A and B are shown apart, each in its own frame.
Chain A
Amino acid sequence: MTMNADELIESWVADVAVQLPRRQRNDVAFELRSLLREELLARAEDSGHDADVQMATGLLHDFGHPDAVAARYRPTLTIIEPADGHHFLKAMVIGLAVIWGAGLFVQLGQPMSSGWDLLLVVSRWWVGTVIPSLWWPGVLVVWFAMAAWTRRCWPSTGDWKPRANDRIQGGRAALLMGMVGIVCGVCILYEPGFWLDYFWSGRVAPQAIDALTYTEEFRQRQGLWLFVLLLLNIPLMIGVFISGRWSPGWRQLSLALGLLDCVVMAWTILDGPVFLSAVSNETAKGAMALIIAGVILTQAIRFYRSVTPMPDGPVRVQESQ
């Protein structure tokens, strides 16, 4: 169906007006139609021939897409603040990568004997992980929209607050609690079977005790190192407690201790059993693998976020006149 110039304008105006609030819709449509006709007449006069469809199409093209024009009639609506754009994108990409990666890891754990099985795994991953993962961008949009709305309503909440790099998170109280936690942890981990038996007044099944009994080999090899390294955190924390801040020296010591922990845990995972029970053994090694991944990830993020102010090229010395 071909339209004439007037019908083209009517159609365009209707597409703009329908997106406007009902109370101003008809009025804007009437005004826009009148203005467009006037513009078209002026173009026709300039060109020296009657207005036609081609001319009207050109005019409407110059005017813009109805969606864009309708948007200009309303106050700007910002869902995600421009300042949050990069944070939003980064959180979305990282989140999706983690969800998709974990889903793929789980699916690839299934037994596969042919190319068909691989196709099945991929399709299960697509349907079971990738498509449902779209909840993540949705959650982020809501989160960032709420943050933007909060900042607009209460601007002071968005004020920048200085953070000292060497501050103790949670203060000295958190350090104290950390130390108590380490002492309790070491006591429990040193002989977990004993504590189980103690709390259940000797009525625990022997299989449960076995499940929490270390192998002699582990106790004499990695166990000793792990407990010593864990206990070394106490003098470190006492030092930080006294100085009241994480100085670069304390940070390096903590990093070295953490990395040593990782090395011993990796050695434990690769070496013989930790517990007499196979299930406990697998659980303990899985937990250690998670701790290692956590430490590496934390250090990687810290490295990525570190800033060392320095020029990225040679500095020319201005000669005095």
Chain B
Amino acid sequence: MGSEDTFNKLELELRRGVVVLATLSQLRTPRYGYELRQALADQGMPIEEGTLYPLLRRLETQGVLKSEWKIDEGPPRRYYSLNAEGRKLFKRLTGSWQGMNAAMGQLLEEE
């Protein structure tokens, strides 16, 4: 029980670290909240709705996302996508992630 709890907490920490990058990666094309969540889940990165939807607004406030209301087969939906600043940020974070990923790959392969 204790070790399962520890695993869950640490796995959550790992996930938290990649939530923003995963979200940005799927916003190179405009998506609305539910669609984005589905896209992430389909690719093996499920993010809780209570985390993802507020995150979109926070990223928009931070000036890395742009959004607009659109009607496209259904009710009005708010579509989010990377703006110029967001694309730069995404590129830099991707570089950092790839560097860390390569280092971790080496670390984990040792012995």
Verify A35–B58 contact, CB threshold 8 A.
no
Verify B75–A63 contact, CB threshold 8 A.
no
List residues of chain B with CB within 8 A of the CB of A28.
57
- Interface residue B106 (Cβ < 8 Å from any Cβ of A): no
Verify B50–A73 contact, CB threshold 8 A.
no
Q: How far is the CA of A211 from the CA of B104 in the complex (A)?
A: 79
Q: Which of A48-56, A64-72, A89-97 contacts B (4 or more CB under 8 A)?
A: A64-72
| Contact bitstring B15-38, A, C-beta under 8 A = 1, else 0 | 000000000000000001110000
Chain B, residue nearest A63 (CB): B50
List residues of chain B with CB within 8 A of the CB of A63.
48-50
- Interface residue B87 (Cβ < 8 Å from any Cβ of A): no
Do A39 and B34 contact each other (CB < 8 Å), given the known contacts A31-B78, A34-B76?
yes
Verify A35–B54 contact, CB threshold 8 A.
no
| Contact bitstring B38-51, A, C-beta under 8 A = 1, else 0 | 00000000001111
Verify A72–B54 contact, CB threshold 8 A.
yes
| Contact bitstring A16-31, B, C-beta under 8 A = 1, else 0 | 0000000010011011
From 1 to 50 in chain A, residues with beta carbon under 8 angstroms from any chain B beta carbon are 24, 27-28, 30-32, 34-35, 37-39, 42
B49: contacting residue among A34, A35, A68, CB under 8 A: A35
Verify A34–B77 contact, CB threshold 8 A.
yes
Give min CB distance, A264 to chain B, whole Å: 56
Verify A73–B54 contact, CB threshold 8 A.
yes
A39: contacting residue among B49, B55, B77, CB under 8 A: B49
Verify B78–A68 contact, CB threshold 8 A.
no
Verify A72–B75 contact, CB threshold 8 A.
no
A35: contacting residue among B33, B51, B55, B61, CB under 8 A: B33
Verify B50–A72 contact, CB threshold 8 A.
yes
Q: Give the residue among A27, A30, A34, A37 with the most B Cβ atoms within 10 A.
A: A34
Give min CB distance, A247 to chain B, whole Å: 47
Chain B, residue nearest A16 (CB): B54
Q: How far is the CA of A63 from the CA of B49 in the complex (A)?
A: 6
Categorize the interface residue count of chain A: 20 to 34
B48: contacting residue among A34, A35, A62, CB under 8 A: A62
List residues of chain B with CB within 8 A of the CB of A73.
54, 57-58
Q: How far is the CA of A143 from the CA of B33 in the complex (A)?
A: 41
Q: How far is the CA of A64 from the CA of B32 in the complex (A)?
A: 20
Q: How far is the CA of A304 from the CA of B77 in the complex (A)?
A: 61
From 94 to 109 in chain A, residues with beta carbon under 8 angstroms from any chain B beta carbon are none
List residues of chain B with CB within 8 A of the CB of A37.
75
Q: How far is the CA of A68 from the CA of B48 in the complex (A)?
A: 13
Verify B50–A62 contact, CB threshold 8 A.
yes
- Interface residue A75 (Cβ < 8 Å from any Cβ of B): yes
List residues of chain B with CB within 8 A of the CB of A72.
50-51, 54-55, 58
Verify A35–B50 contact, CB threshold 8 A.
no
Q: How far is the CA of A28 from the CA of B69 in the complex (A)?
A: 12
Chain B, residue nearest A28 (CB): B57
Give min CB distance, B77 to chain A, whole Å: 6
A68: contacting residue among B33, B50, B76, CB under 8 A: B50
Do A69 and B58 contact each other (CB < 8 Å), given the known contacts A31-B33, A35-B34, A35-B49?
no
Q: Give the residue among A30, A73, A74 with the most B Cβ atoms within 10 A.
A: A73
Chain B, residue nearest A36 (CB): B49
Q: Give the residue among B32, B50, B76 with the most A Cβ atoms within 10 A.
A: B50
Q: How far is the CA of A43 from the CA of B48 in the complex (A)?
A: 14
Give min CB distance, A31 to chain B, whole Å: 5
Verify B50–A34 contact, CB threshold 8 A.
no
> Mind listing 11 A-B residue pairs with CB under 8 Å?
A31-B33, A31-B77, A34-B76, A35-B34, A35-B49, A42-B34, A63-B49, A63-B50, A69-B54, A72-B50, A74-B58
Interface residues of chain B, those whose CB is within 8 Å of chain A, are 32-34, 48-51, 53-55, 57-58, 61, 75-78
Interface residues of chain A, those whose CB is within 8 Å of chain B, are 24, 27-28, 30-32, 34-35, 37-39, 42, 62-64, 68-69, 72-75
> Which 7 residue pairs spanning A and B have beta carbons closest together?
A72-B54, A64-B50, A63-B50, A73-B54, A38-B34, A35-B33, A31-B78
